[in-house]
Structure 1
Amino acid sequence: MRVVVRTGQTELPQDVLAALVAKFTSAFLETRWAWPRRFSEINPYAFLLTDPRAPELDTAELGRLSDELHVHLFGKSDESEVTILLFEGPDETLDDFATLDAEGVARAMTDPSAIPPGARLSRIGPDGTRILTPPDQAAATAAPSAAAPSAPPPERAPNIEGVQGVYYAGREVFVADVISCTPADARTHFSLVDGDEHLPEEPDVFDAACVIAAMRLLAESPSQTPLYLPVSFSTLMRPTRRAAYADMIAILPLSERRRLAAAVYDVPRAPSFQALTQLREALEGRFGAIDLRTSDPAFEIDQLTSRAVTSVTLVLPAAEPERRLAVMRRFAARLPAYRRRRIWPGVTNIRSARELKAVRETRIPFLTGPGVCRMQTVPVGGRPWSADLLPVE
């Protein structure tokens, strides 16, 4: 696969542009080109894609890449262009095509004689369809066109992207949104605010998919309130995955740092000083706020230094209503410790009007969950909303 960027509208140096294309495309493929399919980077603009299960590559997921990469690089301008090309041919021709300069790629798109015998070149449309490039190349190339065409693989439905609002009870207003992204064939929706049963089965893939969703929301949403991106604590504690995550979030624009926040989930009761230091080093360059999400109401807030993170959010357990209320009250009993550390407390997975009323009585400021705001297609951050009218459906 070759990413072709044709534009006179960017002042980015070529090395910076190449790095952005490589990082965004890698993050995109990591979420869309799921195992057992594989990909590897040949150079910043070229990637080798394989699918051991299919006689022909399924390009449904690649259709959105050009649009999303376009928005990331150039905003919504119609004066620039990003094209995704798929080159299929003998192994010995792949490197030659991958290393073609811009003039060579342009010639291959218009001149059938520039395409090696036995190979074909297609442009991937926004809906994932293949468009032979040039259209008359079939007459100038050998097989695979000589073989009977195989039925196209079934098109996969796109991921389902959504947000759920963060409610500030003191002023009865939504102040932020938590991003989520769920594969269309998942057994249930994924969400950080709807309880542990809705956490992703593959945290790495989920977190990467939410980075891609964040790019779209940054471009499309007029609101300037924060967007919380999921970050797996256990992932960041593994050095190799921490490095990969740093590369992935590098596609997020530095200019939007104040609007981006990290919602770090699966945090233990007592994260070590070293763990928190590693976490901040990995995240502070791209996120203006860091929220730790824990299922333990006895989270050891006294072990944190002042303002070590922005907030700590309790995830209510999947349990009987009385047990859930008891856990919430145990967490609320430690509010003075949170004030001493200048760290905001919050509660998530609020499910009922009774729980909403109880948590408001404790004066815990930040609230999320299906009893506060259910999954939305556009951010609700910035909207005043009476507590009597919750949840947002």
Structure 2
Amino acid sequence: MTAVACLRVAVDAEKTGLSPAVLGPLVAKFSGIYLESRWQWPRQFAPLTHYSFLLTDPRADELDVQELARLGEELQTKLFGEGEGGDVRLLLFEGTPEAVQAFAAMDEAAVGRALLDPSLLAPGRLSRVEITEGVAHRAEQAVTTAGAVVGPNWVEQHLARGATGKATADQPMPQLEGVQGIYFTLRGVFVGDVVSSTPGAAKTHYSLVEGDEHMPADTQAFDVDCAAAAVRLLSEPGVHAMLYLPVCYSNLVRASRRTAYETMLATLPAAHKGLLAAAVYDVPRDPAFSALATIKATLSRYVTNIDLRTQDPGFEIEKLPPQAVTSVTLVLPHGDQRARLAALRRFADRLHLYRKKQIWAAVTNVRNRLELDACIAAHVPFVTGPGVCRLQMAPVGGRMQPPEALPLLAA
């Protein structure tokens, strides 16, 4: 059986001091990042509105509310601080597919009335999720009838509709901007952040550090969105370390697309060049000398560091001139654990060549503790990935963190 429910975030909007146009996207971003880090596969979620999400768990008949309850506490702190003012409530409606859709479409006043009069609800169970004395539970339950079994076909179709934004009639979901920290294993500190930006209609978040399944189809649009996100980050306090901006190798080396990239790069603030770096992805095993020259000539006017990202552990570092770029990063391949560790070992066996060329080596798409420990044991200097740092709302560069406390979860 598959457990299906609609999670709804109810916020005391008047006490936030924010307009609905600002509050809705803010709640959507905070909630989306939290669910992305905690509600993990094979469980799935999809946004229905700024304040509601479709949740599924194919392994259970009933959703576990332990992780969901923490979302309410984190949103309370984000929106109202540590004081007693304001109120964030999490409502969970479990029922038939039609009932879940009907609940997601209800306005706040209708939900309030339904809490007092359960007969106004479609068949299902409405609960307030909260934590009492450290224990998460369903409180204030309103049950009208037993829920029905939901088949996987409906779940997949509904997730697709939610992911494409068709479930939100009033306005599209906002762009989800975030960063993921770059960890320096030799000193136990985050030394920078990789920027990401995801359209609200995307099925999953985009990320340069989490493998092919999190890479966009439209690489140029992704790179432009990330540059815009970096400009916004730099306009606010809190950026103390390098921001790495995604740049697609094949786009940049094509003359037909280079002009668009130069226009994009020109939007970066020159005064912050010392905090900007380029993460050039999809680099082949043996990039042409002319391509590398083009990359350096184009990027060096706007950024301080250049990182080349390759999926080939046998990347031919021998052919690069000393200090040709700042670093080369191996993207661990899609596959089973054995294949991923084999690629890591092959890359690590060549670290002496990187030191000889005075080019830093790094590994990304690190997914778990086993891979992180293998990187540390192999003396890989820099690591990134969901096993190191999950998607964050604000940069973490400059933060000390012992390796045993990784991964850094969503803030």
TM-score, length-normalised on structure 1? 0.61
Distance 1:318 1:221, change over 3 A: farther
Partner amino acid for 1:314? L
The sequence identity of aligned pairs, in percent, is 52
Partner of 1:324: 340
Partner of 1:22: none
For the 8 Å contact 2:233–2:239, the answer to whether it is kept is no
Partner amino acid for 1:164? Q
Partner amino acid for 1:177? D
For the 8 Å contact 1:203–1:232, the answer to whether it is kept is yes
Partner of 1:208: 224
Partner amino acid for 1:183? P
For the 8 Å contact 2:330–2:362, the answer to whether it is kept is yes
Give distance in 2, aligned partners of 1:172 and 1:278: 35
Partner of 2:276: 260
Partner of 1:392: 408
Write out aligned runs for 1:359-370 (5 A): 359-370=375-386
Partner amino acid for 1:159? Q
Give distance in 1, aligned partners of 2:405 and 2:332: 22
Alignment partner of 2:352 out of 302, 319, 336: 336
Query: How far apart are residue 219 of structure 1 and its match?
Result: 1.1
Partner amino acid for 1:349? N
Give distance in 2, aligned partners of 1:223 and 1:162: 13
Structure 2: gaps of 5 or more residues:
1-168
Give distance in 2, aligned partners of 1:277 and 1:367: 26
Query: How far apart are residue 251 of structure 1 and its match?
Result: 1.1
Say whether residues 1:225 and 2:238 are aligned partners: no
Partner of 1:283: 299
Write out aligned runs for 1:1-393 (5 A): 154-393=170-409
Q: Secondary structure of 1:330's match?
A: helix
Query: How far apart are residue 385 of structure 1 and its match?
Result: 0.1
Partner of 2:19: none
Partner amino acid for 2:400? P
TM-score, length-normalised on structure 2? 0.58
Partner amino acid for 1:309? V
For the 8 Å contact 1:314–1:331, the answer to whether it is kept is yes
Query: How far apart are residue 223 of structure 1 and its match?
Result: 2.8
User: Between Structure 1 and Structure 2, how many residues are aligned?
Assistant: 241
Per-residue CA deviations over 1:84-134 (Å, capped at 9, x if unaligned) read xxxxxxxxxxxxxxxxxxxxxxxxxxxxxxxxxxxxxxxxxxxxxxxxxxx
Query: Which shows bigger deviation, 303-312 or 234-243?
Result: 234-243
For the 8 Å contact 1:207–1:229, the answer to whether it is kept is yes
Partner amino acid for 1:199? M
Per-residue CA deviations over 1:121-155 (Å, capped at 9, x if unaligned) read xxxxxxxxxxxxxxxxxxxxxxxxxxxxxxxx842
Partner of 2:30: none
Query: Which shows bigger deviation, 240-249 or 164-173?
Result: 240-249
Give distance in 1, aligned partners of 2:237 and 2:287: 35
Q: Secondary structure of 2:399's match?
A: coil
For the 8 Å contact 2:216–2:222, the answer to whether it is kept is yes
Partner amino acid for 2:334? A
Partner amino acid for 1:182? T
Query: How far apart are residue 222 of structure 1 and its match?
Result: 2.2
Per-residue CA deviations over 1:265-309 (Å, capped at 9, x if unaligned) read 010000011000000111000000000000000000001000000
Query: How far apart are residue 247 of structure 1 and its match?
Result: 1.3
For the 8 Å contact 1:175–1:225, the answer to whether it is kept is yes
For the 8 Å contact 2:245–2:279, the answer to whether it is kept is yes
Query: How far apart are residue 224 of structure 1 and its match?
Result: 1.9
Give distance in 2, aligned partners of 1:175 and 1:332: 21
Query: How far apart are residue 197 of structure 1 and its match?
Result: 1.4
For the 8 Å contact 1:307–1:341, the answer to whether it is kept is yes
Give distance in 2, aligned partners of 1:335 and 1:322: 20
Per-residue CA deviations over 1:242-269 (Å, capped at 9, x if unaligned) read 1111011101111111100000001000
Query: How far apart are residue 221 of structure 1 and its match?
Result: 3.4
Per-residue CA deviations over 1:44-85 (Å, capped at 9, x if unaligned) read xxxxxxxxxxxxxxxxxxxxxxxxxxxxxxxxxxxxxxxxxx
Partner amino acid for 2:308? L
Partner amino acid for 1:185? A
Partner amino acid for 2:249? F
Per-residue CA deviations over 1:202-249 (Å, capped at 9, x if unaligned) read 001000001110011001132320000000001011102111110111
Structure 1: gaps of 5 or more residues:
1-152
Per-residue CA deviations over 1:7-62 (Å, capped at 9, x if unaligned) read xxxxxxxxxxxxxxxxxxxxxxxxxxxxxxxxxxxxxxxxxxxxxxxxxxxxxxxx
Partner of 1:31: none
Q: Secondary structure of 1:313's match?
A: strand
Give distance in 2, aligned partners of 1:169 and 1:242: 35
